[in-house]
Chain A
Amino acid sequence: MSKQILLVEDNKVMQLLMTNKLSSRGYNVITALNGLEALAQLEKYPSIQLVLSDWMMPELNGIELCFHLKSPDYGRYIFFVLLSGRDDDDSIVEGINAGADDFVAKETNINELDARLTAGFRTLELHNQLVAKNIELDRAYATIHQDLDSANALIQRMLPSQTSFPGIELHYTHVPSAQIGGDMLGCMQLDEEHIAVYLFDVAGHGVASALMSFAIQQSISANSGTHSNVKRKKDTDPFYMLRDPSEVLSRLNQSYLSQDNNLYFTMVYAVLNIRNGTLTYASAGHPPMIWLQNRNQTAQFIQQDSFVAGMFDFASYKTEQVQLNHGDRLFLYSDGITEAESATKQQYSESALKQLVEDLAHQPANKQTEAIVNTVKAWCGIEQFDDDISLLAFEWKGN
């Protein structure tokens, strides 16, 4: 840092004398005859940060200049040293109030003046380092923010685009939290008769959860061949078999067993036979599905107690089955919606969600998930949820 100083002094002889003294100590001295000139010089030399100013001057005196330079509106950090013959207490109080950083009597010898100015430059150096660090931090923060936004956009692209299949119509609402999260859902046609529908929630927030969610989504949806996490090879026509939902979960559990105890996921994987309406499913520690029956417009839970996935190597899962009727709807969701909190810290709860599904049963399927999420949002009295929200509903249309 160059040792640039703005010397403000209306007495030309004194100005010359001090300039010589300071120059002899290696300072680069720029001068002004009063406060107004000082402001003009500061504008001309944007790198000056140390001002050594006389007290009594025409136009704009030292105190007024100091006050101006120390106001929050002045966009530069200035170390301000008041120079004066007066060193009585009242003047010093006035100077401090105006924001002066140090006081030097005019007759002070050059050694002391040099030492004080050096101290001033040390303070400036610290200040400037701090500012630079803050700028760096702001940049890093902006980069992280941008990365999270891009990641969120990628996650959105992993959501299913095809939602209408023969015999089944699917709707979902997926709202990622401000921080990126680990909720994901999907559906796919396994063969002419079977559609798989699933939803999972990787615990925690942030990049680690999102990456894991991304990977799991890939593991499930990569089913082009006859051998995958959802299909198994067979020697006879049609040369593949669908894996049981419990087997699908077991395979995912083994693939994602983590040493890091933070990362695990809960999941429901269900397969609907679109010909006869049989739904087979397995759950890994996931909140219960809600089954809205068309016949009497009532909802019930389908709960299966089971270990979460990615946590225990000994975990096994169970396939169960229910028989749907035409027009029945199934709802899969993550705990983000049931644990959403009101202003009074009440949680929405699973039973309230089940009730809401019943209350909104008259809505067409394509409106219902959004209506549910909006109702919960209004109940919470918030604009953005703390956690990921995902809700998937499908209706069996019958054959």
Chain B
Amino acid sequence: MQFEIIERGQYTVIQVNEARFDAKLAPSFREELENIKGNIRDHLVLDLSEVRFMDSSGLGAIMGAYKMLRNSKISIVNPQKPIVDLLKLTRMDKLILSHPTIEAALAATA
């Protein structure tokens, strides 16, 4: 499974189970998001623990999620160093906050 989706009413978690979030993965991420966007209520949590590399297409998919879900909160969980660097370079770290765990991301909502 490329993605695991956990829907818990108020929040939805998408766990990306691939080491590379790149041009190959980005289209299915968009598709997945398109399928579940109607169910996303307050908070979308992207668990990127497994991702070791993200290219411009992966970044594009995350920026796309941000634009699509203007009215929901988005958080990233456990990004690895290369992803942290990329989010910082493109200032996406200012739009989507990162947290070490899903619990921390949810606690930050309250």
Contacts and interface: CB of A to CB of B under 8 A. Distances in A.
Given A285-B91, A303-B89, A307-B90, A203 B64 contact: no
- Those 3 A-B pairs whose CB atoms lie nearest each other, nearest first: A261-B64, A285-B90, A203-B56
Nearest to A350: B85
Interface string B25-67: 0000010000000000000000000000101110111011001
Interface of A is mostly: loop
A129 B61 CA distance: 40
**Chain B interface size range:** 10 to 19
A285 B57 contact: no
Interface of B is mostly: helix
Given A303-B89, A305-B90, A305-B91, A266 B56 contact: yes
Interface of A: 201, 203-205, 261-262, 264, 266, 285, 287-288, 303, 305-308, 311-312, 335, 339, 347
Contacts, number: 50
B23 interface: yes
A347 B53 contact: yes
A203 B90 contact: no
21 contacts: A201-B56, A203-B57, A204-B23, A204-B57, A261-B61, A261-B63, A261-B64, A261-B67, A264-B63, A285-B90, A285-B91, A287-B89, A288-B89, A303-B89, A305-B89, A307-B90, A307-B92, A308-B59, A308-B90, A311-B67, A347-B53
Of B56, B57, B89, chain A has the most CB atoms within 10 Å of the CB of B56
B88 A305 contact: yes
Of A262, A264, A335, A339, chain B has the most CB atoms within 10 Å of the CB of A262
Contact of B91 (A201, A307, A335): A307
Of A205, A266, A285, chain B has the most CB atoms within 10 Å of the CB of A285
B56 A335 contact: yes
A307 B62 CA distance: 13
Contacts of B56: 201, 203-204, 266, 335
Nearest to B30: A261
Nearest to B63: A311
Given A305-B90, A307-B91, A308-B90, 20 more contacts: A203-B56, A204-B23, A204-B56, A204-B60, A205-B23, A261-B67, A261-B68, A262-B60, A264-B60, A264-B63, A266-B56, A266-B90, A285-B90, A285-B91, A288-B89, A305-B91, A306-B90, A306-B91, A308-B59, A312-B67
